[in-house]
Structure 1
Amino acid sequence: MFSSKTSRVLRLRYSLQVTAAFTAACFGGSALAQEVPAGTTPATEASDERDPRGEIVVTASRTATNGLQAPTPTQVVGAEVIEKQGATTVMEVLNLNPAFKATRSPGANATNTSSPAQATADLRALGGQRTLVLVNQSRVVPFAPASNLGVPTTTDLNLFPTLMIERVDVVTGGASALYGSDAVSGVVNIIMKKEYDGLQVTAQAGASQSGDYGNYRVGFVGGTSFNEGRGNIVLSGDYSYNDGVSDIYNRDWGREEWMIVTNSQRTVAGTAGFGQPNFILARNVHNSLGEDGVILNGATTTGGNIANIPGLTGMAFTANGGLRPYNKGAIFGGQTMIGGEGASIIKGTDLIPSVERMTLYGSLYYEFSDSLTAYVEGGYSTSTGILDGVPMRLASQRILRDNAYISPQVRALLPANLASFNISRIAYDIPNNVYEITNETPHGVVGFEGKFGGSWKWDAHVSYGVNNYSSATFLNPVTAKLNFAIDAVDQGQFQTGVANGNIVCRATLPGAAFNAAATGCVPINLFGAGNPSQAARDYILGSGLAEVKYDQLAAGVNLVGEPFATWAGPVVIAVGAEYRRETQALTADAVGSANGFLTAGNAVPYSGEFDVREGYFEATVPLARDTPFLRTLDLNGAVRYADYSTVGGQTAWKLGGVWEPVTGLNIRVSRSRDIRAPAINELASPGSNVTNSVVLVVDGVSKTATIPQNTSAGNPNAGAEYANTWTAGFAYRGSGALRGFGLSVDYYNIKIEDAITNLTTVNIASLCSSGDTYFCGLFSYGPDISTADPNDRIHTGLIAGSLNVGAFQQEGVDMTLTYGTSVGFLGDGGRYSLAASGTYIFNALVDTGTGAANAVIDRAGENGWANLSSIPTFRGNLSQTIGADGWELTLQTIFISKGTQDNTYNTLPTNTINDNTVPAVAYFNLFGKLFAGGNKKFELFWAVNNLFDKDPPPTPYAILNGPVNGQYYDKVGRNFTLGARVRF
Structure 2
Amino acid sequence: MTRSIDRRAASWFHRMLATTALTATAVAAHTAVAQEASSAQEDEAETAAPAADEVIITASRTATNGLQAPTPTQVVGVEVLERQAVTTVMEVLNQNPAFKATRSPGANATNTSSPAQATADLRALGGQRTLVLVNQSRVVPFAPASNLGVPTTTDLNLFPTNMIERVDVVTGGASALYGSDAVSGVVNIIMKKKYEGVEVTGQAGISQRGDYATQRLGFIAGTSFADGRGDVVISADYSNNNGMEDIYSRDWGREEWMIVSNSQRTTPGTPGFGQPAFILSPNVHASLGSGGVITSNIPGLNNMTFNPDGSIRPFDKGDIFGGQVMIGGEGQSIIKGVAQMPDVERFTTYGSIYFEFSDSLTGYIEGGYSRSVGFLDGIAIRLPTITIQRDNPYIPASVAALLPATTQSFNISRIAYDIGQNFYEVTNETPHAVVGFEGRLGGSWKWDAHASYGVNNYASRTFSNPVRANLNFAIDAVRDPVSGDIVCRAVLQGNPAAAGCQPLNLFGENNFTEAARQYIWGSGLSEVKYDQLAFGANMVGEPFSTWAGPVSVAFGGEYRRETQELTADEIGANNGFLTAGNAVPYSGAFNVKEAYIEATVPLARDMPFLQGLNLNGAFRYADYSTVGGQTAWKLGGTWEPVDGLNIRVARSRDIRAPAINELFSPGSNVTNTVTLVVDGVTKSASIPQNTSRGNPDVGPEFADTLTIGAAYRGTGALRGFGLSVDYYNIKISDAITNLSTVNIANLCSNGDDYFCGLFSYGPDTNTADPNDRIHTGLITGSLNVGAFEQKGIDVTLSYASNVGFLGEGGRYSMSASGTYIFNAFVDSGTGAAPVDRAGENGWSNLGAIPRFRGNLSQTIGNRAWELTLQTIFISSGVQDVTYNTLPTNTINDNDVPAVAYFNLFGKVFVGDNKKFEMFWAINNLLDKDPPPIPYTILNFPTNGQYYDKVGRNFTIGARVRF
Instruction: Tell me the TM-score normalised to structure 1 length.
Output: 0.91
Aligned positions of 1:300-339 closer than 5 A: 308-339=297-328
Deviations 1:505-563 (A, max 9, x none): 011114xxx31010000000000011121110000000000000000000000000000
Tell me the residue number matched to 1:972. 950
SS of 1:670's partner is strand
Q: Letter of the aligned partner of 2:382 in structure 1?
A: R
1:885 pairs with one of 836, 845, 863: 863
- The answer on whether the counterparts of 1:764 and 1:775 sit within 8 Å (CA) in structure 2 is no
Contact 1:33 1:198 (8 Å CA) reproduced: yes
Output the CA distance in 2 between the equivalents of 1:476 and 1:470: 16
Distance 1:130 1:607, change over 3 A: same
Partners of 1:772 and 1:258 lie apart in 2 by 42
Q: Which residue does the alignment assign to 1:13?
A: 13
- Equivalent residue, structure 2, for 1:302: none
The secondary structure found in structure 2 opposite 1:110 is helix
Q: What does residue range 357-368 of structure 1 map to in structure 2 within 5 Å?
A: 357-368=346-357
Aligned letter for 2:229?
R
Aligned to 1:784: none
Distance 1:75 1:775, change over 3 A: farther
Find the aligned partners of 1:208 and 1:798 in 2 and give their Cα distance. Answer: 51
Give 1:398's aligned residue: 387
Sort the Cα spacing of 1:178 and 1:279 in 2 relative to 1 into closer, same or farther, 3 A. Answer: same
CA distance in 1 between counterparts of 2:199 and 2:334 reads 47
Distance 2:272 2:949 in 1: 31
- Equivalent residues in 2 for 1:946-961, closer than 5 Å: 946-961=924-939
- 1:65-464 matched pairs, under 5 angstroms: 65-297=64-296, 308-464=297-453
1:23 match: 23
> What do residues 44-86 of structure 1 show as CA deviations (whole Å, max 9, x unaligned)?
xxxxx96336232100000001000000000000000000001
Cα shift at 1:774: 11
CA contact (8 A) 1:40 1:167 kept: no
SS at match of 1:731: strand
Among 785, 800, 811, the alignment partner of 1:820 is 800
Render the CA deviation track for 1:778-835: whole Å, top value 9, x for unaligned. 999xxxxxxxxxxxxxxxx998732211200000000000000011111110000000
> What is the letter of the counterpart of residue 625 of structure 1?
R
Look up the match of 1:833: 813
Q: Secondary structure at the match of 2:108?
A: coil
* Distance in structure 2 (CA, Å) of the matches to 1:947 and 1:642: 50
Cα distance 1:536–1:682, how it changes in 2: closer, same or farther (>3 A)? same
> Is the contact between residue 99 and residue 839 of structure 1 (CA under 8 Å) also seen in structure 2?
yes
Q: CA–CA distance in 2 between the matches of 1:814 and 1:640?
A: 27
Task: Read off the aligned partner of 1:596 and give its amino acid letter.
Answer: G
1:891 maps to a residue whose letter is L
Aligned residues of 1:38 and 1:166 also touching (Cα < 8 A)? no
Which whole-Å CA distance do the structure 1 matches of 2:754 and 2:567 have between them? 31
Secondary structure at 2:408's aligned position in 1?
strand
**Matching of residue 875 in structure 1 with residue 853 in structure 2:** yes
Q: Which residue of 2 aligns with 1:55?
A: 54
Question: Aligned-pair distance for 1:404?
Answer: 1.3
Q: Is the 8 A contact 2:148 2:694 kept in 1?
A: no
Q: 2:418 is paired with a residue of what secondary structure?
A: coil
* Alignment pair present for 1:801 and 2:781: yes
Distance 1:550 1:772, change over 3 A: farther
2:745, 2:755 within 8 Å by CA — same for their partners in 1?
no
Q: Which of residues 599, 610, 625 in structure 2 aligns to 1:630?
A: 610
Q: In 2, Cα distance between the equivalents of 1:864 and 1:832?
A: 37
Give the Cα–Cα distance (whole angstroms) in 1 for the partners of residues 778 and 805 of structure 2: 68
1:449-482 Cα distance to aligned partner (Å, 9 max, x none)? 0001210000000000000000000000000000
Distance 2:610 2:2 in 1: 66
Query: Structure 1 residue 2: deviation in Å?
Result: 9.3
1:738-773 deviation line (CA, Å, top 9, x unaligned): 010000000000000000124699x979999xx999
User: Which position in structure 2 is the counterpart of 1:611?
Assistant: 591
The alignment status of 1:4 with 2:4, answered yes or no, reads yes
Moved more, 189-198 or 6-15: 6-15
Whether the 8 Å contact between 2:257 and 2:941 is mirrored in structure 1 is yes
The root-mean-square deviation of aligned C-alpha atoms, in Å, is 2.5
1:505 has 2:494 as partner: no
**What's the offset of the Cα at 1:153?**
0.2
| 2:696 equivalent in structure 1 | 716
CA–CA distance in structure 2, aligned partners of residues 612 and 983 of structure 1: 45
1:429 alignment partner, SS class: strand
Does the 8 Å CA contact 1:549/1:586 hold for their aligned counterparts? yes
Partner of 1:203, secondary structure, is: strand
- Structure 2 CA distance for partners of 1:346 and 1:765, relative to 1, 3 Å: farther
8 Å contact 1:547–1:586 — kept in the other structure?
Answer: yes
Which runs of structure 2 are paired with 1:726-765 in the superposition (5 Å)? 726-758=706-738
Q: Secondary structure in 1 aligned to 2:451?
A: strand
Q: Could you tell me how far apart the structure 1 residues matched to 2:759 and 2:956 are?
A: 53
User: CA contact under 8 A between 1:141 and 1:155: conserved in structure 2?
Assistant: yes
* Contact persistence 1:555–1:580 (CA under 8 A): yes
| Aligned partner letter, 1:659 | W
Report the CA distance between 1:687 and its aligned residue.
Answer: 1.9
Q: What are the ranges of 5 or more consecutive residues in structure 1 without an aligned counterpart?
A: 43-48, 298-307, 693-706, 781-796
Q: Distance in 1 between matches of 2:744 and 2:939?
A: 16
- 1:479 — aligned with what? 468
Residue in structure 1 matching 2:915, options 933, 937, 948: 937
CA distance in 2: counterparts of 1:185 and 1:234, whole angstroms: 32
Tell me the CA shift for residue 711 of structure 1: 6.2
Contact 2:744 2:830 in 1 (8 A): no
- The one-letter code matched in structure 2 to 1:343 is Q
Matches within 5 A, 1:407-806: 407-492=396-481, 501-510=484-493, 514-688=494-668, 712-758=692-738, 801-806=781-786
Residue type matched to 1:349 in 2?
A: V
> In the TM superposition, what is the alpha-carbon distance from 1:322 to its structure 2 partner?
2.0
Stretch deviating more after TM superposition (199-208 or 106-115): 106-115
Q: Is the 8 A contact 1:836 1:877 kept in 2?
A: yes
Matched letter for residue 963 of structure 1: P
Change (3 A) 1:776 1:311: farther
Q: Distance in 2 between matches of 1:311 and 1:269?
A: 23
Of all paired residues, the percent bearing the same amino acid is 73
Residues in 2 aligned to 1:217 and 1:924: alpha-carbon distance in whole angstroms: 23
Deviation of 1:272 after TM superposition, in Å, equals 1.5
Where does structure 2 lack aligned partners over 5 or more consecutive residues?
673-686, 761-776
Letter in 2 for 1:882: I
Report how far residue 216 of structure 1 moved: 0.2
- Counterpart of 1:329, as a letter, is G
d(CA) in 2 for partners of 1:895, 1:800: 43
CA distance in 2, matches of 1:626, 1:503: 95
Counterpart residue number, 2:681: none
Change (3 A) 1:54 1:980: same
SS of corresponding position for 2:177: helix
CA–CA distance in structure 2, aligned partners of residues 723 and 953 of structure 1: 34
Would the aligned equivalents of 1:296 and 1:424 in 2 still touch at CA under 8 Å?
yes
Q: Number of aligned residue pairs: give it.
A: 927
Question: Using the alignment, how far apart are the partners of 1:876 and 1:688 within structure 2?
Answer: 42
Aligned counterparts of 1:392 and 1:126: Cα–Cα separation in 2? 33
Change (3 A) 1:154 1:711: farther
CA drift at 1:271: 1.6
* Paired residues of 2:140 and 2:532 also in contact (CA < 8 A): yes
Q: Distance in 2 between matches of 1:958 and 1:947?
A: 30
Q: Offset of 1:27 from its aligned partner?
A: 2.2
SS in 1 for 2:472: helix
Residue 709 and residue 874 in structure 1: after superposition, are their counterparts in 2 closer, same or farther (change >3 A)? farther
